[in-house]
Each structure stands twice: as structure tokens, then as C-alpha cells.
């Protein structure tokens, strides 16, 4: 039987509703790509903003509930909390990007990532929304809030750079290879729906230079917050475990992520590296982020493993 | 001849040095080193670090274990190649900073204001536009100031440039804007932050230590074991574990692990403090963290001996298996024993009675009582002998220990200062970019007929941003309309 996290008490019901809304906006953005009708993109954006507002409300409900059962730290502890918060940060990032740049075509990718994260939170059996009235001793610290917020802002930014990187690569392929483009144009006359979609997609996405600039700015934002999050985590570890660095798998992977984006930032200084390579680093960097965020917990156990049922408690 | 040789030697040395210098300050080398460090780190997360040899042999088998050991994969973050890569990266960092810093500081303090120089080395980021206008140069510059001033603020040193130029080339007028040039220093400061952090880390490794030890309740220790090699280290004071307790939530989950420690110097109690996770004890530059807990293998059973004739009389004995104890009731002695072949779902131990130095044949089997012990929350086990004497099994005697990590954290402040420098510098280098703009008007030749003036605009952003170019384009369009 599939378990769905949808309890009004702990706020997960509202998150599940927001999942439906985001799925709806995803469909809206999908149709927008086909039709390039402003109506759909605007409607989708309004739904995204409402979903974001609903999630904010749900977080308040969840925090109040966890406070009422005696947990004095915010509900950002287990896998469910974290996935939901990830979706929240992604929506936030998308809304900010959309306000600064006119990024309708990005909506398709961003709502997809947010929906995937929320769906994972809602349906994955090991992710439960129930807030247990106890937390393991190591997490009883106020460092937690700042550590997690900083790192999730970074994760969200890297997710956005991934999305924009994909747009860049699709668009770059078309500009880079006019010969193929010609073929596509010919094929389009035969009204192949995929080719039509592809062309539409390219038409709708911002100019390649803007994409390049946005990738850089978003990565840099993420890099700053990744650094802040790692330093806060090190300070916390120094306070709780007896050393600021223990080569715990999550720590090591966060360092690898940091290195990946440090490469990105330095590579821009090398003159012969063009935007295409940068976009590739942004895409690969996000894969590293996913390993750091989920892979390490689900595959390699360590001090950072999420408190999933059946896992051994950490001191 | 000798002198010549010497000169050649110095020259080749210099040449080699500058080549090395160039090699170590290249961004490409930094990228390669970054990639290699990341790759090595990944290996370290795939293969568990710091397990025992026996654990490795069980997981990988003997042969693979030897290969992994030889490759240094089992302690990869201390392997020579990992430390070597890190050292190379630090070298690159220092050399490149040392190379770039003087140049950039010089450019900030005393910028090269010459248009021609800038045009010559404009590089791949600059945008160069030429326009023509018949208006007079002063007028052109006034409107340029109006338009570009909106984005760039006040032009710098305009008089100085004019003076300079009037000396060389009469009639040429230029405007120079430079925004946020001070923030060119921030990448250097960011690298400095990393260097400071790494110095702190190094000092911590050299001067400090991380160690771990278990302390039995009631025991006093004077040494601990280093995490890196398990070698003992003498502490500057003694630590006594007064008490250890695990506190639980109502549902049985652990709420906290609490150790009460006393620091002692020369048998004098200096201070007593409880430590929990997240709340260590700091004394004399040494920090003591709650890291683990447990109990040693039990050695004796807690046996409560009751005199059934006189119910008030009870004695608590710690009975080690096989040993004979006196119950002090009717001269009855007993021993606590385990069955050699315990039956399934039966209590695996029993009491044998020894009366007048003879073992009574039938062992006393325990029965569960409907009461639970206060401490263990488990049913009490009960058995009796001839309505005279009863034995209650109340668990085993366990010695709890608290695992503490004892760390001498030297110079962590340097690490935090370095990290803070890095983060602030990242903020400024990412969000405050230098932009410069030159506008130069070259009047037409001296002939009165040709009255068009050549206007050159050179815009150089620090980073190649589309938004910068489109902003410049927009302003140039506006400027065109004015002239």
C-alpha cells in the first residue's frame, strides 16, 4: 500500500496540496512551450506563487505543531522536512529569477525539480511527515537552523543553475550547429511534434548571453551560501563532536561540491573556456549536489544520515 | 669567462624560476589540482576510512586488502599523495596571489588612465565603439557625462587626464569612469582567507590533538588515545567520571547522554561539570566532548537473597557465575550458574544450593514474577528453596562507561578568522564588480572643412556579463540621439 504524507495536524496535507498545484503549473508551463501562449505561463506563475504561499503557511503550521509537542528547534530534521524545504527553496529561487529576468521557459524545469522533490517527500516510504516528540541529542542545537538554511539556499541556487545550464546547452546546440538546424527546419515542415517543441523551446528561452550570465550569478550566489553553510557546520561540529572536520562522507562530499563550483568560478577566468563548458560544469555540479544531498544519506551512512525509521541513532 | 658562465647560470636560473612561477600561478593548474583532490576524496567516501584491519579483511578479502593498503586507500586523507596534492594547491594559491597582488594593488592606487593603453590590451571582455559627431568636443563630453554618469557616477580625475592630454595632443578630450575598482582586491582577499584558514588547520594539526577514551563510572584517568594512531597521550590533568546517565523521552527515545566529570590536579578537585552532546567542558585549552557511552560485559548477577521466615531480612549479592556465596541463612550456600545447554525460551541460568558442603541435586529454576524492577523495566525472576530462602535475580551488575573525546584545539580561532575573511571577500568579489568606461573625443583635422569629430567609447567590465553590454548599448543609443 502506498503511504501518502497528508496530515492536517503536522502540515503535510498542505504540502501535498501544493504538490498538486506545482504539478498543475508544470503542465501549464509544458503547454506554454508548445503554444507560447502568455496566458499559460502567467497562469502557471500565479499558481507557483500561490503554492509558495501555501507552503509558507504549511511551514508555520508544522513549526507550531512541533513546538507544541515539545521540540524547540525548527522542523528541518528528517528526510521529509528536508525534501519539502528543498522544493520550497527552488520555488523561491524561481520566483526571484522570474522577477529579475523574464524566465518563463525556466518554469518548466524548476517546477519539475520542485514537483519531483515534493513527490519524493510525499510518496517515498522512508520519508514520513510525522514529527516524533523527540530528537536525537546531536541536533539539539541552534546551529541547525542556520546550517540548513544556508545550505538549502545553496542547493536551490545550484538547482536553478542546472536548469539554466540545460537551457543553455539546448540553445547552444542550435546556434553551434547551423547545418543541423537546417535539417531541423526542414523536418519541422513535416510537423514533427518533437522538433516543433524543440524549436519552440529555443524560441522562448532568453538569449544565450543572458543564460550564460545568469548561470554565473546563480552559481556564485550558491557558492557563497555553500561556503557559509560549510563554515557554520564546521563551527557546530567543533562544538558538538570535538573537531571542525572529521572527513565524514557528507563533509567530504560538501567539499567536493565546493571544489566543483570553485572550478566553475576559476574556469571563467581562463580565456579559452567558453560558455558551453561553463554550462556543463553547472549541470555536472548539480549531480554532485544531488549525491551530497541525497546519495550520501541513502548509500553511505555517516554522522549526517537523516533520521529515517530503522536507522541507528547518532549520539 | 667565469663571469660569463656565472651570468648565464643566473639567467637560466631566472628563466627557470619565472617558468616555475608561471606554472604555479596558472589557473589551469589550480583546476587540475582541484579535480584530483575531488577524485581522491571520492575514493575516501567509497571505502570506509579508519576501520580495523580485521574489518577490512572481512569486507574485501586478503588480496584486495593488501592492494588497498598499498595504495593508501584505507587512510587516504593522510596518504602522501593527498597531502602532496593539498600542498601543491596551497603553493599554487600562494604563488598566484603573490604574483597578482602587487599588480592589482598598483592598479587600484595608481590606475593607468591612458585610453591608448587600455585600448591596446582591451582583451576579450571589452566593448569598443566609435561614433562621429559634428558637435564641438566640449558639448559632446557634457552630454556623455549626463548619460553615462547615471550608471557610473562621477568621472575620475578628469582634469588630470585633460592636463596630460593637452600636453601631448591638443584638442583631445576624454572622460574616464571607473566604478568599484577597490573591489578588485576582493578575490585576493578571498585567497588570503583560504591561506589563513589553512595555516590555522596546519597549526592545529601540528600543535593540537584529538583523542578518545572510555572512562568507567567512578574511575579516574590520566591519559587518552590519539584518534589518528591510537597511541596514548598524557593529559595535563586527571579526569574522574562521577556519574553517567542516559536520559530518555517518555516513549523511550534517547533525550540526552549526561556525564558528570571532575577535573583533578594533584588530587585536588578543580571543577565538576556535566557534559552533554553540544555542551562540552573546556578547561586549560582542552575540550572534553560527550562522544559515546556503553557498558562493559557484565561480570556478575545482582542476586537479592530473602529470608522467607523473616521477610525484613534481605541481602544483595553480586554473584559471579560458578562462585560459591554464603546466604547467611541456615548456613546455606549457593552459586549462580548457566545451563550448559539451555532450552529454548527458558531462562538460561539457575541457582545451585550447597548445603553442608554438598551440592543439592536439583537446580533452582527461576520463574517470572508479575512485578517489574524499577531500574530495568523488566520482570523480576524468582526462585525459592524449601520455603526458607528465596533468590531474586535483578539483572546483571554493569559498569557503565562514558566515551569522551578529549581535544586540544589549537588555533581554531585562526580557522574561523580565515573563513570569515573568505566569506566576506566572496560576497564583495561576487556582488561588486569593477567596471570602467572611457569616452574620448578626437577632433577632426585642422582643416575647417571637415568638422566631424571622432568619438571612441571603450567599456570594460570585470566579468563578461550580457547585462553590462546591453546597458552600454542602451546608453550609447541614448548618447547618439544627443549628439
Burial B432-468 (b: 16+ CB within 10 A, else e): ebbbbbbbbbbbbeeeeeeeebebbbbbbbbbbbbeb
Q: Which pLDDT score, from 0 to 100, does residue A18 have?
A: 92
pLDDT digit string, tens, across residues B409-456: 777 889 999 999 999 999 998 888 888 888 888 776 655 555 677 888
Q: Which residue has the cell 556519574?
A: B243
What's the pTM value of the predicted model, to 2 decimals?
Answer: 0.80
- C-beta atoms of B38 and A260 within 8 A: yes
Annotate B9-58 with DSSP letters as a single string. Answer: HHHHHHHHHHHHHHHHT-HHHHHHHHHHHHHHHHHHHHSPSS--HHHHHH
Each residue's pLDDT tens digit, B178-236: 888 788 888 889 999 999 999 898 888 888 888 888 888 888 989 888 877 778 989 99
Interface touch A259/B27, C-beta < 8 Å:
no
More confident residue, A303 or B114: B114
Chain position carrying cell 571589452: B126
Q: Does the pLDDT at position A17 exceed 70?
A: yes
Residue B49 has pLDDT above 80, yes or no: no
Chain A residues touching B42 at Cβ < 8 A: 252, 256
Distance CA A186, CA B147 (A): 47
Rounded to whole angstroms, the maximal C-alpha distance in chain B is 141
pLDDT tens readout for residues B264-284: 988 888 889 998 887 888 888
Cell of A231: 563554515
Tens of pLDDT, residues B242-255: 988 888 777 677 77
Encode pLDDT of A72-83 as tens digits: 778 887 888 888
Which helix (H) or strand (E) is B209 found in, with range?
strand B209-216
Contacts of B249 in chain A (CB under 8 A): 133-134
- Which one, of B437, B414, B438, lies nearest residue B204 by Cα? B414
Q: Which of A213, A223, A259 shows the shortest C-beta gap to B37?
A: A259
Residue the block writes with cell 581522491 = B40
Q: Write the CB contacts of B156 (distance below 8 Å, at least 6 apart in sequence).
A: B111, B113, B176, B177, B178
Q: What is the pLDDT of residues A206-218, one digit of tens each?
A: 888 888 888 888 9
Mean pLDDT of A123-139: 74
Query: Which of the two residues, B221 and B482, has the higher pLDDT score?
Result: B221
Give the residue on A whose Cα is nearest the Cα of B465.
A213
Is the pLDDT reported for residue A313 higher than 80? no
How close does chain A come to B372, measured CA to CA in Å?
Answer: 25
* Residue in A141, A228, A255 closest to B423 by CB: A228
**Per the CB < 8 Å rule, is A216 touching B465?**
yes
Share of chain B above pLDDT 90, in %: 10
What percent of chain A lies above the pLDDT cut of 70?
84
Amino acid at each position: 500500500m502506498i503511504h501518502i504524507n497528508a496530515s492536517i495536524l503536522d502540515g503535510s496535507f498542505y504540502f501535498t496540496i501544493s504538490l498538486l498545484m506545482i504539478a498543475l503549473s508544470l503542465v501549464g508551463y509544458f503547454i506554454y512551450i508548445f503554444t507560447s501562449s502568455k496566458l499559460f505561463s502567467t497562469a502557471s506563475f500565479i499558481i507557483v506563487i500561490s503554492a509558495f504561499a501555501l507552503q509558507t503557511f504549511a511551514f508555520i503550521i508544522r513549526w507550531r505543531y512541533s513546538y507544541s509537542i515539545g521540540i524547540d528547534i525548527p522542523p528541518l530534521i528528517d528526510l521529509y522536512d528536508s525534501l519539502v524545504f528543498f522544493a520550497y527553496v527552488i520555488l523561491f529561487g524561481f520566483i526571484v529569477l522570474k522577477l529579475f529576468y523574464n524566465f518563463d521557459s525556466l518554469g518548466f524545469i524548476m517546477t519539475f525539480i520542485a514537483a519531483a522533490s515534493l513527490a519524493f517527500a510525499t510518496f517515498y516510504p522512508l520519508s514520513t511527515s510525522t514529527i516524533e516528540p523527540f530528537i536525537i541529542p546531536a541536533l539539539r542545537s541552534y546551529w541547525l537552523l542556520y546550517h540548513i538554511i544556508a545550505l538549502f539556499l545553496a542547493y536551490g541556487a545550484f538547482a536553478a543553475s542546472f536548469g539554466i545550464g540545460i537551457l543553455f546547452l539546448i540553445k547552444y546546440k542550435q546556434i553551434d550547429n547551423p547545418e543541423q538546424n537546417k535539417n531541423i527546419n526542414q523536418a519541422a515542415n513535416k510537423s514533427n511534434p518533437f522538433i516543433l517543441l524543440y524549436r519552440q523551446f529555443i524560441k522562448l528561452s532568453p538569449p544565450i548571453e543572458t543564460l550564460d550570465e545568469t548561470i554565473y550569478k546563480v552559481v556564485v550566489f550558491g557558492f557563497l551560501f555553500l561556503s557559509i553553510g560549510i563554515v557554520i557546520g564546521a563551527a557546530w561540529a567543533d562544538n558538538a563532536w570535538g573537531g571542525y572536520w572529521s572527513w565524514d562522507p557528507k563533509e567530504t562530499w560538501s567539499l567536493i561540491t565546493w571544489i566543483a563550483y570553485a572550478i566553475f568560478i576559476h574556469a571563467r577566468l581562463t580565456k579559452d573556456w567558453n560558455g558551453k563548458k561553463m554550462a556543463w560544469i553547472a549541470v555536472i555540479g548539480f549531480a554532485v549536489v544531488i549525491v551530497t544531498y541525497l546519495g550520501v544519506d541513502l548509500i553511505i551512512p555517516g554522522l549526517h544520515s537523516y533520521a529515517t525509521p530503522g536507522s541507528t541513532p547518532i549520539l | 669567462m667565469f663571469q660569463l658562465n656565472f651570468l648565464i647560470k643566473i639567467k637560466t636560473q631566472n628563466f627557470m624560476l619565472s617558468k616555475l612561477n608561471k606554472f604555479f600561478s596558472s589557473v589551469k593548474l589550480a583546476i587540475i589540482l582541484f579535480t584530483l583532490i575531488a577524485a581522491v576524496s571520492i575514493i575516501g567516501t567509497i571505502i570506509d576510512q579508519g576501520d580495523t584491519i580485521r574489518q577490512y579483511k572481512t569486507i574485501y578479502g586478503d588480496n584486495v586488502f593488501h592492494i588497498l593498503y598499498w595504495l593508501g586507500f584505507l587512510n587516504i586523507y593522510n596518504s602522501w599523495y593527498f597531502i602532496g596534492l593539498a600542498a601543491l594547491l596551497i603553493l599554487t594559491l600562494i604563488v598566484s596571489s603573490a604574483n597578482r597582488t602587487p599588480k592589482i594593488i598598483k592598479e587600484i592606487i595608481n590606475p593607468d588612465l591612458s585610453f591608448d593603453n587600455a585600448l591596446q590590451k582591451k582583451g576579450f571582455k571589452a566593448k569598443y565603439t566609435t561614433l562621429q559627431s559634428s558637435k564641438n568636443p566640449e558639448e559632446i563630453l557634457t552630454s556623455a557625462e549626463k548619460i553615462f554618469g547615471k550608471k557610473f557616477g562621477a568621472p575620475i580625475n578628469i582634469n588630470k587626464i585633460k592636463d596630460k592630454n593637452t600636453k601631448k595632443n591638443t584638442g583631445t578630450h576624454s572622460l574616464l569612469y571607473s566604478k568599484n575598482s577597490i573591489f578588485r582586491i576582493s578575490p585576493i582577499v578571498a585567497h588570503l582567507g583560504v591561506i589563513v584558514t589553512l595555516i590555522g588547520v596546519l597549526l592545529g594539526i601540528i600543535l593540537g590533538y584529538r583523542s578518545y577514551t572510555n572512562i568507567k563510572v567512578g574511575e579516574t584517568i590520566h591519559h587518552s588515545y590519539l584518534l589518528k594512531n591510537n597511541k596514548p597521550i598524557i593529559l595535563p590533568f586527571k579526569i574522574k567520571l562521577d556519574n553517567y546517565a542516559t536520559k530518555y523521552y517518555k516513549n523511550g527515545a534517547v533525550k540526552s547522554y549526561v556525564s558528570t566529570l571532575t577535573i583533578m590536579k594533584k588530587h585536588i578537585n578543580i571543577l565538576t561539570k556535566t557534559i552533554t552532546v553540544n555542551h562540552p567542558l573546556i578547561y586549560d585549552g582542552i575540550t572534553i566532548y560527550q562522544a559515546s557511552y556503553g557498558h562493559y560485559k557484565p561480570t556478575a548477577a545482582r542476586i537479592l537473597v530473602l529470608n522467607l521466615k523473616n521477610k525484613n531480612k534481605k541481602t544483595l549479592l553480586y554473584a559471579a557465575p560458578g562462585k560459591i556465596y554464603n546466604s547467611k541463612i541456615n548456613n546455606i550456600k549457593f552459586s549462580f550458574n548457566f545451563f550448559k545447554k539451555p532450552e529454548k525460551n527458558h531462562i538460561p541460568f539457575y541457582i545451585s544450593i550447597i548445603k553442608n558442603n554438598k551440592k543439592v541435586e536439583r537446580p533452582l529454576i527461576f520463574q517470572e514474577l508479575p512485578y517489574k524492577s524499577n531500574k530495568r523495566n523488566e520482570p523480576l525472576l524468582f526462585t525459592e528453596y524449601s520455603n526458607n530462602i528465596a533468590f531474586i535475580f535483578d539483572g546483571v551488575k554493569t559498569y557503565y562507561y562514558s566515551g569522551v573525546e578529549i581535544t586540544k584545539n589549537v588555533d581554531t580561532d585562526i580557522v574561523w578568522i580565515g573563513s570569515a575573511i573568505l566569506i566576506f571577500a566572496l560576497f564583495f568579489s561576487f556582488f561588486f564588480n569593477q567596471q570602467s568606461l572611457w569616452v574620448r573625443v578626437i577632433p577632426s583635422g585642422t582643416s575647417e572643412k571637415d568638422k566631424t569629430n571622432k568619438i571612441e567609447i571603450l567599456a570594460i567590465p570585470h566579468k563578461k556579463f550580457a547585462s553590462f553590454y546591453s546597458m552600454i548599448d542602451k546608453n550609447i543609443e541614448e548618447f547618439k540621439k544627443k549628439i
